[in-house]
A and B are shown apart, each in its own frame.
Chain A
Amino acid sequence: MLFKSRSIKLLLLCTIVFASCKKYLDINKDPNNPLTVEVSKLLPTAESSLGSALAIGNGTAGGLSQILEVYTHQMSTRESQDQYAYTGSGFYIGTAWPTMYQGVFENLEKIIKIAGPAGDRQYVGIAKILKAYGYSQFVDAFGDIPFSEANRLDSSIRYPKFDDDATIYPKLIALLDEGIADVTNATALNLHKPTTDDVIYGGNVQRWVKAANTIKLKLYTQVRKVQNVQAQVTALLASPSTLINATNESFWLPYGPNGATDDRNPGFGDYIATQRSNHVSPWFYETLKGYRPDIFTGNPDPRLPYYIYNQIKANTVTADPTEYRDGAFVSIYFGSRGPNRDRNQQNVISLMGIYPVGGRYDDGQGGTANAASGTGAAPYKFITYADRLYLEAELINAGLATGDARAVLQAAMTESFKQIDYVITTFVKPAQSVPAINGTAAMTTYINKVLTEYDAGNAAKKLRIIITEKWLASYGSAVDQYSDYRRTGYPVLFDPNNPAMAPGGFVQPPVNGNPQAIPQPAVLVQLSRPYPNSLPWYQTELETNPNAPPQKDLVNSFKVFWMP
């Protein structure tokens, strides 16, 4: 009996102890990560991610421009961008897609969700404008993409459907109008306003309005082959002050010089890369040099040392033979099958310079690139004032807007030069001394020669010059270049299968370009794929989303809706 009663007491005691222990288990609130944050912490993430998703990279970071710079022949590489072979499982699509949907769109949705009810309409408006721009870039690159059901896991949509690309554009225009209304909403509470956390415009909402209107102008221009946009663009161009109208109003993402948290332009990565792989395309180089027989012939572009940095001097003897050399400039061809393509030349090849990626201004002295060669603080250019002018020139040229296309082209080119000085002094802030280019005699000579060529050309040639100059000015930001090419056919790109460009499949580097090998041998080039009308979708998206379409086929017949 003694035992029995004791055991019952024990049991009772145990029960009481356990009952009071519920709280012992209530310790599962995450002490490391917040459940909610201020929108001012999300905005810089969304803005910087927008840059990361679109920028050039170097093997460890980067976005769509790392592919599209090759597709628009400003860059050449041995990697699979060569010969338009990039796949949906490639690294850069694999970074760009999640960076855009998770880093940009999801954070923007959260900003709208938090700032909306709080009455912080400026944040809401900026988020909508950024969202519209991000989507427009992805539609341009991929065509059909998740839009109406994207970023709605809160509403239990785990597998968003892919929307028809043509249906997305009108919604983006509407979103931009909403964004403009939000940022300019005079009755909003706006207890929290964006300031320095808005790394693009520092909370200057008037500039956001200008950016939104200019994005609209760009979108209308983009669809002009499939839709009459005369009324819309005329209305927008009628009041230039509502558009990006000065260099400092340009819509671009600044980068910084800090290597620890790494806020440098991802394209600067090639300066510090353990394996440099981004060559400057000989096609681009020859256009700048005036070597091309069909455009800007004999009109060397004074922007060259700002655009391209040569690691060697013109007379340097290289250990290994090079494929393409012109004095200090060393590169490889698109589609190359040459014997010297795969040689290790990483301290010999020419790199993107101070203007596109914050690298080094080429003073002719050479030197192996490294982290100290530049600051990496060049912005990624979404839409610059120069771009806005080129759009206007194109629209006038196409008869969709009124005005003097020549004068606008001249202003655009002048702005393109001015913008170089602005980027260097405002953002890059290099340690080396860099001369200003704006207003130099070389600049005037160059622009006048281009205008002479323009005057002599027919409408097609005029369009070609406008788009080619835009291509040159936007060096480093390739998404719109890729779109421009697909909708206008310009700039003319290198085609290994074109007998005029590569007779018999061989292309000839400058015969006397290499001081060691005179004459330089011609290089076998090939291309076995058609020009991609859009990029393949991110393979992982397709594999994890049952509502996704099958991957675009090998020959890639998917046309974005605005293509003629």
Chain B
Amino acid sequence: MFCILLPSSYSSNKNLNCMKKILLLVLFCLPAMIMMAQSRTITGKVTNPEGKAVPFATVTVKGTTNAVSADANGNFSIQAAPNSILVFSAAGFQNVETNIGNQTTVNSTLSTAGALSEVVVTALGIRRADKALGYSVTKVDPNSLLQKSEPDMLKSLQGKAAGVDIRTSQGTPGAATRIQIRGNSSFFGDNQPLIIVDGIPFSNDQVSTSNQTTGGTAYSNGISSLDPNDIASMNILKGSSAAALYGSRASNGVLVITTKSGSATRSRKGTEVTVSSSISWEKIANLPEYQNEYGTGANFLFSPASNGSWGAPFGSSHTFGLDSVNNFATYQAAYPELFPSSGRIPYKAFPDNVSNLFRTGMVYENSIGFSGGDDKTSVALTASNLSQKGYVVNSSYVRNNIGVGGATRLSFGLNIRGNFSYTRSTQTGGYFGENQVGGAASMFARSLFLGRNWDTELPYQDKAGNNITWNGGGQFDHPIWSAYNNVATTHEERYIAGLHADYNINKLIRVDYSLGSNVNSLDRREVTEISSRAAEGNGRIVLDTYKKQEIESDLLFTFSPTINNDFNLKAVVGNSINQRTTTRQVQTGNKFITRGIYTLGNTAQQIFGPIVSGAPFPPLADNFQQQRLIGVFGDVTLSYKNYAFLEVTGRNDWSSTLPQANRSYFYPSVSGSLVFTDALKLQSKILDFGKIRAGWAKVGRDAPPYSLDNVFVLGANFLGQPTATVANAANDPDLKPEFTQEIEVGTQLSFFKRRIDIDFSWYDRNSTNLIAPISIPSSSGYAQFFTNYGKINNTGIEIDLTVKPIQTKDFTWSIHGAFTKNKNTVEELIEGVERLQLRAVLSGASNINPYLEPGLPFGYLRGNKVFRDSATGALLINPATGGMIVKQDQEMVGDPNPDFKLGITNTLSYKGFFLSFLFDMTQGGDIYSVTVSSLLGRGVTKDTRDRLGNWIIPGVYGDPATGKAILNGGKTIPNTTSITTNDLYFSPNSLNGATFAINTATEWNVYDATVYRLRELTLGYEVPRKLFKKVPIGSATITITGRNLWYLAPNFPKYTNFDPEVNSFGATSTQGIELSAAPTTKRFGVNLKVTF
């Protein structure tokens, strides 16, 4: 049965045989182990004094390291000899010891106390007591992520966990969310944590079909297909020490998620059904405040073709004002019957023209969970549906999920668990990007900056269905036409199948084996309809098919020898085999033959591959990638009197992607902790618990597949001739593994009987010898050389603080603060290279690109600045224009990395009522904003309403040819050249007369993105259980929630109301660049949860 899960299509028989051998070994071993069984199985349940289950309590056979943890419902099962003593421990409870005698069922009731002995899941599913850890692990309560009117699980994690930086992208449904732990530790790649779901790596790729600078939709990333309703537990392994056993991919941290179906536990009642349902309404979070006094044109003169509202004032009562104008030529031609025969229309403002473009979106979420079984067997099932309609018309995200899992204990003591889940999601939405770039057609090209006299209630297409706009000229697509006709639809399916078996061979040895497969397949259709400004107006379809399969097999032997009563030793050795296979095809069809049929067959010209604008050699996209990794690892934990702990791990990997000579690499970790309150027997009324911890770890990492040989790339035909070219990147045949080393120290302190808990960590992480492409001069024949080089440092602190100011029988108030500060610096590149471009975003006049450069923050923003007087720093003004002079060379214009993040959650509960609200803030971090630049430059907001006066930019005269101040008798000359308000925001000359907003130096469109926010508000009521005595209802909770109800970003122009929590490049490491992104949303919701 194991073989069913093996990849069959792409493995050679040889390889398949090899995998089989390992699996057969396991199969042969199991019966052998079974015969060695000795001790009995003890089962039971751990409860609190009120009879409620204590989840994940640790149960240890005293004097041994034989320990298990109870499940989420307090149930446990452990092997123990008769008359053993079981020690029960759990967070917030005092330990209880029970002699089991001859019983096989032992229940235990714990009483609350000040001991911290929570159990957390660490690497490879190894459960360990929190107090024993020498590194920081954050445990996330899955309930804090549910029913918050937020379909995106990662977004609902925002502000709740220290050390976790979550960044959103577009405000449309399904858009990717970036999660980052302790900064970027590799130069390229997405730098996101490894996600492990039920023991199997879960690919979180963002599959981008089109370049997001010039188009592309709000691509989602893989984690969006995970159903939050199915999550039983989530642990975040932040540091390398915690993650070292996962090896290669753990250098950016690990999210360890256990699903309900994957853990298949039985509830206290035996059988339980949970039904939850919620409905939310979403709106665009905020619109700018518009001026309604001037229409399109320039310098108070009306112009029907203009995009900027700098024209004549409305109404002839004003100087230059007009009452009526000629009808828009496009509308007059398309719908003459709608307009007066004079061809004149009133010249007036449409104050609601922007808000008319958007609707109230909805989020529906329904989920049903079932768990049941008997003493030996349990099953769990989760099914849910999420349906979101965004505030942009025709944008939606639908996700359906079903997960089933079962666990059983065979009579000879073998535990077997299996699970399967299936998710299908469909995302629909339009395109974004910088509309100014040739061939681009952003849905948001003008949405927020419509001419004030443009009526959005007029039709958006002519009678034939062609896109029409007010000022014609094909400068942008009508936002509504675009939403209905330029649409990307992505269907994504994910299958997860897993099997786990464990068995205690004897008192000393336990064996665990798991095998699982995670398959993610994506089908995308990007349609650009005839008459769009993109695709030459002829229509286009791009089809993208992507499939990724990952298989992982893990075998673990756990040894728990007895030493003496003071010392405890536990050792794990194991083997892990992983295979990742990706296939992808992209095909493009140009020129629709007929309208409305979106198939390749309906196009006149087809090509393999995506449209790559400006690329000299468009790549053909049809590829297969496979990589394999074999790891062998060991983990030894030694504890002394349960207050001093030492853990040493080591792992050796063999990777298929490295040269044979460098294929094998080893990396160790060591960490320790000391509960000094126990060690020193401190009996303080103030300090209940104190622990210090320290860890050091090294994590190795292999290369992407096929990065050793120099290859040719096949290209599109030229004049009917097949072509090939030398690849853009040359490869280093002697690649070595890269390593990340991290030191972490921390402390956990608990005061006043756990009324105050502090968890503090400091870390310093260095990644060296990184495997990445280095830019080399084109004159070498290549643009990049793929090799080992450089160093990245991340240093930071994380603080989790919980305070419970009031804790009475009926009323509790608790405050949780999560503080994250990370400094991410590129320390070294390679000799001879000043800097590397992280991504090509925009070159030319409006130059903005993220870069890597020694001594500077990761991905800092680089662009143009203007000349300043070298002595005084005064702006240099061109006497001929009154504008500034733009420097040729680029410089740093911003740092997108925030200084720190802080989230504060207040939770108040009174009897059945509870109220919680989360404020969070991001301090610092810069963003380049096309939205703000356009709002100002197009003269549409109240920021530029008062425009009757002229302006003088403070500065001194300078010479555009030299970039130096013009001197008169050795002195600089103050600028006295005035310019109009229109020119102040729309540069009269982009190089020699730059002003602000549009067509100016990059530096003027970079803003400090500090933002304060009321992220989440929840008000709930749990219906008293006594009401349900006569009905089969276990509990019922109703909540109302609000998301993003208020924010303040103080460093942006006031009336733009800009929310900097947007980003045009999804979950990639390119941050701080916004190219007319869809604004954020706010939501209200009502949620109901009932258990039976």
Q: Are B844 and A546 in contact (CB under 8 A)?
A: no
Give 1 or 0 for each of A467-507: 1 = CB within 8 Å of chain B CB: 00000000000000000000000000000000000000000
CA distance A35 to B724 in the complex (A): 11
Q: Are A337 and B785 in contact (CB under 8 A)?
A: no
Q: Are B534 and A35 in contact (CB under 8 A)?
A: no
- Given A13-B25, A91-B843, A102-B728, is A320 in contact with B305 using a C-beta cutoff of 8 Å? yes
Chain A residues whose CB sits within 8 angstroms of the CB of B654 once the complex forms: 25
Chain B residues whose CB sits within 8 angstroms of the CB of A159 once the complex forms: 776-777, 780, 832
Give 1 or 0 for each of A128-161: 1 = CB within 8 Å of chain B CB: 0000000000000000011001111100011110
Closest B residue to A159 by beta carbon equals B832
Closest B residue to A269 by beta carbon equals B438
CA distance A52 to B618 in the complex (A): 13
The yes or no answer to B948 lying at the interface (CB within 8 A) is no
Q: Are A33 and B605 in contact (CB under 8 A)?
A: no
Closest A residue to B833 by beta carbon equals A544
The yes or no answer to A543 lying at the interface (CB within 8 A) is yes
Chain B residues whose CB sits within 8 angstroms of the CB of A343 once the complex forms: 298, 303, 305-306
CA distance A110 to B727 in the complex (A): 12
Chain B residues whose CB sits within 8 angstroms of the CB of A97 once the complex forms: 778
CA distance A540 to B988 in the complex (A): 29
Chain A residues whose CB sits within 8 angstroms of the CB of B837 once the complex forms: 540
Residues of A321-363 at the interface with B, using a CB-CB cut-off of 8 Å, are 337, 339, 342-347
CA distance A25 to B780 in the complex (A): 33
The yes or no answer to B613 lying at the interface (CB within 8 A) is yes
Stretch of A207-215, A251-259, A402-410 lying at the B interface: A251-259
Chain A residues whose CB sits within 8 angstroms of the CB of B719 once the complex forms: 44, 48, 199, 254-256, 263
The yes or no answer to A14 lying at the interface (CB within 8 A) is yes
Residues of B824-842 at the interface with A, using a CB-CB cut-off of 8 Å, are 831-835, 837
CA distance A149 to B711 in the complex (A): 22
CA distance A353 to B628 in the complex (A): 57
- Given A3-B506, A275-B438, A343-B305, is A544 in contact with B533 using a C-beta cutoff of 8 Å? no
Residues of B952-1010 at the interface with A, using a CB-CB cut-off of 8 Å, are 959-963, 988-992
The yes or no answer to A241 lying at the interface (CB within 8 A) is no
| Whole-angstrom distance between the Cβ of B894 and the nearest chain A Cβ | 18
The yes or no answer to B307 lying at the interface (CB within 8 A) is yes
Chain A residues whose CB sits within 8 angstroms of the CB of B776 once the complex forms: 153, 158-159, 544-545
CA distance A205 to B101 in the complex (A): 100
Q: Indicate the member of B778, B880, B889 with the most A CB atoms within 10 Å.
A: B778
Give 1 or 0 for each of B653-674: 1 = CB within 8 Å of chain A CB: 0111100100100000000000
Chain A residues whose CB sits within 8 angstroms of the CB of B436 once the complex forms: 275
The yes or no answer to B9 lying at the interface (CB within 8 A) is no
Q: Are A346 and B473 in contact (CB under 8 A)?
A: yes
Chain B residues whose CB sits within 8 angstroms of the CB of A528 once the complex forms: 878, 880, 959-961, 992
The yes or no answer to A426 lying at the interface (CB within 8 A) is no
Q: Are B623 and A344 in contact (CB under 8 A)?
A: no
Give 1 or 0 for each of B269-311: 1 = CB within 8 Å of chain A CB: 0000000000000000000000000000011000111110000
Q: Are A60 and B613 in contact (CB under 8 A)?
A: yes
- Given A28-B706, A44-B719, A320-B306, is A260 in contact with B438 using a C-beta cutoff of 8 Å? no
Which of A27, A153, A320, A371 is the one whose CB lies under 8 Å from B15?
A: A27
The yes or no answer to A59 lying at the interface (CB within 8 A) is yes
Chain B residues whose CB sits within 8 angstroms of the CB of A33 once the complex forms: 706, 711-714, 727
Residues of A152-206 at the interface with B, using a CB-CB cut-off of 8 Å, are 152-153, 157-160, 196-197, 199
| Whole-angstrom distance between the Cβ of B254 and the nearest chain A Cβ | 24
Chain A residues whose CB sits within 8 angstroms of the CB of B992 once the complex forms: 83, 85, 526, 528
CA distance A226 to B212 in the complex (A): 51
Chain A residues whose CB sits within 8 angstroms of the CB of B613 once the complex forms: 60-61
Stretch of A16-24, A295-303, A434-442 lying at the B interface: A16-24
Q: Are A158 and B785 in contact (CB under 8 A)?
A: yes
The yes or no answer to B715 lying at the interface (CB within 8 A) is yes
Q: Indicate the member of B306, B591, B719, B991 with the most A CB atoms within 10 Å.
A: B719
The yes or no answer to A79 lying at the interface (CB within 8 A) is yes
- Given A30-B711, A44-B718, is A151 in contact with B961 using a C-beta cutoff of 8 Å? no
The yes or no answer to A411 lying at the interface (CB within 8 A) is no
| Whole-angstrom distance between the Cβ of A263 and the nearest chain B Cβ | 5
Closest A residue to B837 by beta carbon equals A540
Q: Are B706 and A151 in contact (CB under 8 A)?
A: no
| Whole-angstrom distance between the Cβ of A148 and the nearest chain B Cβ | 11
Stretch of B16-24, B143-151, B163-171, B1084-1092 lying at the A interface: B16-24
Residues of B612-635 at the interface with A, using a CB-CB cut-off of 8 Å, are 613-614, 616-618, 622-628, 630
CA distance A528 to B618 in the complex (A): 39
How many chain-A residues does the 8 Å CB contact rule pick out? 117
Chain B residues whose CB sits within 8 angstroms of the CB of A146 once the complex forms: 777, 779
The yes or no answer to A109 lying at the interface (CB within 8 A) is yes
Q: Are B847 and A24 in contact (CB under 8 A)?
A: no
The yes or no answer to A515 lying at the interface (CB within 8 A) is no
Q: Are B717 and A554 in contact (CB under 8 A)?
A: no
Chain A residues whose CB sits within 8 angstroms of the CB of B963 once the complex forms: 554
Q: Are B628 and A24 in contact (CB under 8 A)?
A: yes
Q: Are A151 and B714 in contact (CB under 8 A)?
A: no
Which of B536, B575, B607, B832 is the one whose CB lies under 8 Å from A545?
A: B832
The yes or no answer to A101 lying at the interface (CB within 8 A) is yes
Q: Indicate the member of A2, A30, A41, A153 with the most B CB atoms within 10 Å.
A: A30
Q: Are A80 and B991 in contact (CB under 8 A)?
A: yes
Chain A residues whose CB sits within 8 angstroms of the CB of B22 once the complex forms: 17, 21
The yes or no answer to A34 lying at the interface (CB within 8 A) is yes
Give 1 or 0 for each of A433-462: 1 = CB within 8 Å of chain B CB: 000000000000000000000000000000
Chain A residues whose CB sits within 8 angstroms of the CB of B861 once the complex forms: none
Q: Are B329 and A544 in contact (CB under 8 A)?
A: no
- Given A24-B19, A36-B712, A37-B712, is A259 in contact with B605 using a C-beta cutoff of 8 Å? yes
- Given A23-B18, A30-B709, is A371 in contact with B537 using a C-beta cutoff of 8 Å? yes
CA distance A42 to B890 in the complex (A): 36
- Given A44-B721, A554-B962, is A89 in contact with B889 using a C-beta cutoff of 8 Å? yes
CA distance A149 to B781 in the complex (A): 10
Which of B475, B536, B777 is the one whose CB lies under 8 Å from A344?
A: B475
Chain B residues whose CB sits within 8 angstroms of the CB of A48 once the complex forms: 718-719, 723
CA distance A36 to B724 in the complex (A): 10
Residues of B2-18 at the interface with A, using a CB-CB cut-off of 8 Å, are 14-15, 18
The yes or no answer to B471 lying at the interface (CB within 8 A) is yes
Chain A residues whose CB sits within 8 angstroms of the CB of B533 once the complex forms: 274
Which of A49, A79, A196, A371 is the one whose CB lies under 8 Å from B538?
A: A371
| Whole-angstrom distance between the Cβ of B602 and the nearest chain A Cβ | 14
Closest B residue to A372 by beta carbon equals B538
Give 1 or 0 for each of A2-13: 1 = CB within 8 Å of chain B CB: 110010001001
The yes or no answer to A430 lying at the interface (CB within 8 A) is no
Q: Are B606 and A546 in contact (CB under 8 A)?
A: no
Q: Are B847 and A89 in contact (CB under 8 A)?
A: yes
CA distance A13 to B880 in the complex (A): 85
| Whole-angstrom distance between the Cβ of A157 and the nearest chain B Cβ | 7
Give 1 or 0 for each of B466-495: 1 = CB within 8 Å of chain A CB: 000001111100000000000000000000
Chain A interface (Cβ < 8 Å from any Cβ of B):
2-3, 6, 10, 13-14, 17-18, 20-21, 23-37, 41-42, 44-45, 48-49, 52, 58-61, 78-80, 83, 85, 87-91, 94-95, 97-103, 105-107, 109-110, 145-146, 149-153, 157-160, 196-197, 199, 254-256, 258-263, 269, 272-275, 319-320, 337, 339, 342-347, 370-371, 526, 528-530, 536, 538-541, 543-546, 548, 551, 554-555
Q: List 11 A-B contacts (CB under 8 A).
A: A3-B36, A24-B630, A25-B656, A32-B625, A48-B723, A151-B780, A159-B777, A274-B439, A274-B440, A320-B303, A370-B536
A-B pairs, top 9 by smallest CB distance, nearest first, are: A260-B605, A59-B438, A106-B781, A146-B779, A545-B777, A546-B832, A33-B711, A30-B706, A41-B724
Inter-chain pairs besides A45-B715, A103-B725, 15 sampled, C-beta below 8 Å: A24-B630, A25-B630, A31-B623, A33-B727, A35-B712, A98-B616, A100-B778, A110-B726, A199-B719, A320-B304, A343-B298, A347-B473, A540-B777, A543-B775, A545-B777
